[in-house]
Structure 1
Amino acid sequence: MPAYPKLSVVIVNYNVCYFLEQTLLSVRRAVEKLGEPVEVFVVDNNSVDRSVAMVRQRFPEVILIENQDNPGFSKANNQALRQAKGEYLLLLNPDTVVEEDTFRACCEFMDAHPKAGGLGVKMLDGQGKFLPESKRSLPTPWIAFYKVFGLAALFPKSRKFGRYHLGFLDKDQTHEIEVLSGAFMLMRKAALEQVGLLDEDYFMYGEDIDLSYRLTQGGWKNYYYPGTRIIHYKGESTKRTSVNYVFVFYRAMVIFAQKHFAPKQAGAFSLLINFAIWLRAGVALCRRFWDKAWPVLLDALIILGGMYFLKDYWEQNHKFVPTPYPPQYMLVAVPAYIVVWLSSAYLSGSYDEPAKTSRIVRGIFIGTVLISAISNFLDAWRFSKALIILGGVWAVGAMVARRVVQHFIRYRDLRLSEQPPKTIAIVGSEVESQRVRRLLGAAAVQARILGFISPTDEGSAADTPTDQLGSLRQLGEVLQIYDVTELVFCGKDLTASQIMGNMVQLQDTHPEVAFKILPEDSDYIIGSSSKDSPGDYYALEIELNLYKPQQRRAKRLLDIVISLAVLVGTPLVLLRQRNALGGFLRNVLRVLLGRRTWVGLRYMAPRTGTPRAVFSPADEAVHANFAMNDATRRRLELIYARDYSPADDLRLVLRNFQVLGQE
């Protein structure tokens, strides 16, 4: 490679192998279109999902930097930036797709604007919708106030309240802006050498605002350029309901204020942001609680109403002595019944998707038996066995009826235990469409595959395959006629520009259709339903028992029971601990709060939202001084996850008590 390439691309990756593969494929095509020397860096922050092996195997031209820990976004980018030799330097997220002409168009723009220090482009989410963070203003105290207290969201196009995302600026025109997005941040090397690299005080979030501000302070200009587009799946936005995201994101704004604003302003700004942190954290907790609680609360209210009418009916028609039940029956006994019924129903899987009548019947039956048994020992609270049985029958009927109504409203279907399968059409060649079918079948995706839409208009009626629905120019008509719910684009047959163009065109006319992409020669079909949904994928994967709702619930209960048991017996437990008291008690607290699980995956990449494990089944051999490589450890964890049962956790904890205090 020549000593001075035109462009250096830097991608920091952490456990998103499937997205990184698609990003690098799009980068490779964009490099070809640029026609000038380009160097591509991938900095891996100690991923455990085969990202490194994939890059080595599929992209030998990439300069790979392997970290043995996760130093954060800023430090990882700086590692590559210090080595980069390009005239222009691009920070690119691993969950993006660039158009074929993106690099050429951006470099030409920078060449034509010598005072341009930084450049951002038009970003689309996984559904082809414009992402407002493509252009942003500096978060001064007032702009930040409007943002954190929701005024920016209420008045996005206001010149006063909507300045955070500059909603009053036309998204289809070039503008000089203040802040670039770290998802795609193109900078002139000369400008970066003048103002310095990313500030490593920021672990994640805020570093792009800081660097953008320093570029403008150094006399350079930042531009928003809509002449090319990228897809940004924006998986991190799913964390906006998590308390951890709230603290990390807004603390980054405090660091920025303390660094760049006058001391007086920084103090007021810090006070404002800290207040916003706790406010947003509280809202996030309430939202998460409400999402989980509202189905249970609704069932409780319906059952309570039914029990009131059952009580009146039984008093008037069947009670041996027709006198009213005492007030404590409805005030204490019935609420206690409902708690037992719903707790038993929850543990039996009544709130898992898809809903099943058998789980409800089983849960309520067990709850009814428990209530009847307990009431036998409480003479003062023994009211009527008949009302307990009738209440159980009503609880089953009410819970099933509520779910049937909800299911019908959502799917227009009365089959409670079944969710309508996806209706999928494939945009690509016949060969690639067959590959999509095999992948969907191997991933056990419940779908009805209608056929494929040819990416070209070639061929005659005589040689048209029977499952061909039409050609690319007829795509809108095909969606209209066949009632498609999901569209899979084949990256081998279509350019990124074609895919994005069709997504943008269709997202207005067919908002109900979800889009996914099968990258060239990949085993992953990737997509995202909106900017606030995580990127997801279909893949050739074994079904893991560990992630089934019933097993996850049983695992959580077992974690709590083990934690409480070892907490009570702490003095005896510590006699067998290799670790200090602090580490052990810290892990107990983390498990009780749901931030850790006693046994789980430490070498495989866990699914999003899964707590980190204190101990891995693969650690048994390690502590027994049995040498093994990472591949063997992951294989042991795969077997554990595939065949998981709570008994495995209990056995492993009992056999490895001495290491429960490890970090």
Structure 2
Amino acid sequence: MQLSVIILNYNVRYFLEICVLSVQTALSNIDSEIIVVDNNSQDDSCEMIKQRFPNVTLIQNNDNIGFPKGNNIGVARAKGEYICILNPDTVVAEDTFLKILAFAKEQKDLGIIGCKLIDGAGNFLPESKRGVPTPWVAFTKIIGLHKIFPKSRLFCKYYAGHLEENQTGKVDILVGAFMVMKRDLYLEVGGFDEECFMYSDDIDLSYVVSKTGRANYYFHETTVIHYKGESTIKDGTYMKRFQEAMNFFYKKHFSSDDLQSLFFTFFMKIGIIFFSFIKKFQGQAKFKRKPICFELYSSCPEMAKKLTATLQNKVAYHDLKTEKEVISYLNKCAVGAEVVLDNEFISFKECIAVLELAVNRGFTFKIRPKNANFLIGSNNSNEIGEVIKIE
């Protein structure tokens, strides 16, 4: 078997559905398997998988055992030469795995491959490629110096500033939302460290792999949506967990004496104090803007009627039988519109392309997955995603 895709799920039933649907489509011409590991979700995630995706291997844990252990369990069941660790709040393109595997086979020193990630509004996610979070690098991230000096090599190491977002190349660290590597290598290094804190497990695995002499690669020629959601909201809890994660990583790989540990702790404390000070002047979260209108791209006029009833708002219908190029017709849409892309008639790759091309043009987006009765999307990477059930 060529590829095993492992998806660890916890209470994100609708995101899991569109994720597995996109993965299943992308694997149609690959000898592969999908393994969903569920960490005791209390929604109907498992029932949905059993009913809609009966060929998916489902592992149901009795407790929420965390990200590292859950993925390790999935990999232990995998049979593929390659594995993909994939978040359930992602959407892949139909050719994502074909491109990734072709690239993988060309590399003689292959470690882990990551890809270009965007949020639900089409914005590039800088964590797609990262550097080793030494105390200084972690400090520049937590204090935001990489944003103030985006072109500086000194301050942009956390997000691997030596590479542009549309440039493939070697990086130190990749994000756990999408990781492809050989299964034998994963097992050789012991997989995810089950002692890791949140936010450091993928950093640790990337670094451990690089220490074996293999190279990790950021691959920009395929794009994956990562909705992310509320777990990324930058509040005090996030900053505390970030400090714990960096502390764990630093002590495991770099700390050799108490002085270095004090140095690291000092940098992190200063960064968190500065972050908290800035947050006081940023005010509350921005008011969530409601769409001024809805634009449906489909080939099903009945769907327009259903959405009008569901949304209690007029829905402009664009028939894809006559309007082939979605992006060109967005020029006619009002700024502030919510664009609904019907996956029954628009591929996931096309949906992703629309998000990328229309980024920062004032639109929000929802996707209606094929054969599903809901819309799903997220307006930015700091908000929990939204699910709208179609009546």
Q: Normalization by structure 1: what TM-score?
A: 0.56
**Residues 109/475 of structure 1: CA separation in 2 closer, same or farther (3 Å cut):** closer
Q: Give the structure with the higher percent strand.
A: 2
Aligned partner of 2:122 in structure 1 is 128
Which residue is 1:425 aligned to? 295
Q: Is the partner of 1:240 in helix, strand or coil?
A: coil
Q: Does 1:269 align with 2:264?
A: yes
Alpha-carbon spacing, 1:439–1:43, altered in 2? closer, same or farther (3 Å): farther
1:146 correspondence with 2:149: no
Whether 1:531 and 2:372 are equivalent positions in the alignment is no
Aligned mate of 1:15, from 7, 11, 14: 11
Q: Quick one: which amino acid aligns to residue 447 of structure 1?
A: N
**SS of the residue aligned with 1:89?**
strand
Task: Letter of the 2:239 partner, please give it.
Answer: V
Q: Which has the higher helix share?
A: 1
Post-superposition offset of 1:283:
5.6
Give the 3 Å change call, closer, same or farther, for CA 426–141 of structure 1 in structure 2.
same
Q: Does 1:31 align with 2:24?
A: no
Query: Could you say what secondary structure the match of 1:41 adopts?
Result: strand
Q: What's the counterpart of residue 298 of structure 1?
A: none
Query: Structure 1 CA distance, aligned partners of 2:111 and 2:70?
Result: 21
Tell me how far 1:271 sits from its aligned partner.
Answer: 3.4
The structure having more radius of gyration, on CA atoms, is 1
Distance 1:436 1:251, change over 3 A: farther
How much does 1:517 deviate? 0.4
2:308 and 2:314 in contact (8 A); partners too: no
Residues 197 and 252 from structure 1, CA distance in 2 versus in 1: closer, same or farther, beyond 3 angstroms? same
- In 2, the alpha carbon distance for the partners of 1:64 and 1:103 equals 21
For residues 94 and 436 of structure 1, what CA distance do their matches in structure 2 show? Answer: 28
- Whether 2:224 is the aligned partner of 1:230: answer yes
| Cα distance between partner residues in 2 of 1:283 and 1:500 | 34
Q: What percent identity do the matched residue pairs reach?
A: 38
- Count of residue pairs brought into register by the alignment: 389
In the alignment, structure 1 residue 177 sits paired with structure 2 residue 47: no
Q: Deviations over 1:388-426 (max 9, x none)?
A: xxxxxxxxxxxxxxxxxxxxxxxxxxxxxxx97631111
Q: Does 1:454 align with 2:306?
A: no
The answer (yes or no) to whether the contact 1:422–1:446 under 8 Å persists in 2 is no
Indicate conservation of the 8 Å contact 2:247/2:264, yes or no: yes
Conserved in 2, the CA contact under 8 Å of 1:233 and 1:527? yes
Contact between 2:233 and 2:383, CA under 8 Å: does it hold in 1? no
Q: Which one of the candidate residues 496, 510, 521 is aligned to 2:348?
A: 496
Deviation at 1:166, TM superposition (A): 2.0
Does the 8 A contact of 1:19 with 1:95 survive in 2? yes
Contact 2:4 2:35 in 1 (8 A): yes
Structure 1 contact 423–485 (Cα < 8 Å) conserved: yes
Give 1:282-431 correspondences, 5 Å limit.
Answer: 286=280, 290-291=283-284, 422-431=292-301
For the 8 Å contact 1:102–1:228, the answer to whether it is kept is: yes
Residue 218 of structure 1 deviates from its aligned partner by: 0.8
Q: 1:64 to 1:287 in 2, by over 3 A?
A: farther
Alpha-carbon contact 1:46-1:69 (below 8 Å) kept: yes
Distance 1:162 1:475 in 2: 33
1:584-606: CA deviation from partner (whole Å, max 9, x where unpaired)? xxxxxxxxxxxxxxxxxxxxxxx
Shift of 1:247: 1.7
Q: 1:59-138 counterparts in 2 under 5 A?
A: 59-138=53-132
Give the secondary structure class of the aligned counterpart of 2:217.
Answer: strand
- Following superposition, the deviation at residue 282 of structure 1 comes to 6.5
Q: Deviation of residue 478 (structure 1)?
A: 5.0
Q: Which runs of 5+ in 2 are unaligned?
A: none
Deviation at 1:159, TM superposition (A): 1.1
CA distance 1:24–1:440, shift in 2 (3 Å) = farther
Question: For each residue in 1:171-210, what CA deviation from the matched residue of structure 2 results, as whole angstroms up to 9, or x when unmatched?
Answer: 2121100001111011112222221110111242110000
CA-CA distance at 1:474 after TM superposition:
6.2
One-letter code of the match for 2:33?
E
SS, match of residue 266 in structure 2:
helix
Q: Deviations over 1:120-157 (max 9, x none)?
A: 00111111121111111010111112111221121122
TM-score by length of 2: 0.92
Shift of 1:518: 0.4
Q: Distance in 1 between matches of 2:336 and 2:136?
A: 45
Q: Name the CA distance, whole Å, in 2 between partners of 1:531 and 1:201.
A: 27
The one-letter code sitting in structure 2 at the alignment partner of 1:17 is R
What is the rounded CA distance, in whole Å, between the counterparts of 2:375 and 2:386 in structure 1?
8
Secondary structure in 1 matching 2:27: helix
Aligned partners of 1:74 and 1:200 also within 8 Å = yes
C-alpha RMSD of matched pairs (Å) = 2.4
Instruction: Give the whole-Å Cα distance in 1 for the aligned partners of 2:131 and 2:371.
Output: 40
Structure 1: runs of 5 or more not aligned: 295-352, 355-418, 458-470, 542-663
TM-aligned CA deviation for residue 59 of structure 1: 0.7
Conservation of the 8 A alpha-carbon contact between 2:113 and 2:216: yes
Q: Distance in 2 between matches of 1:50 and 1:481?
A: 37
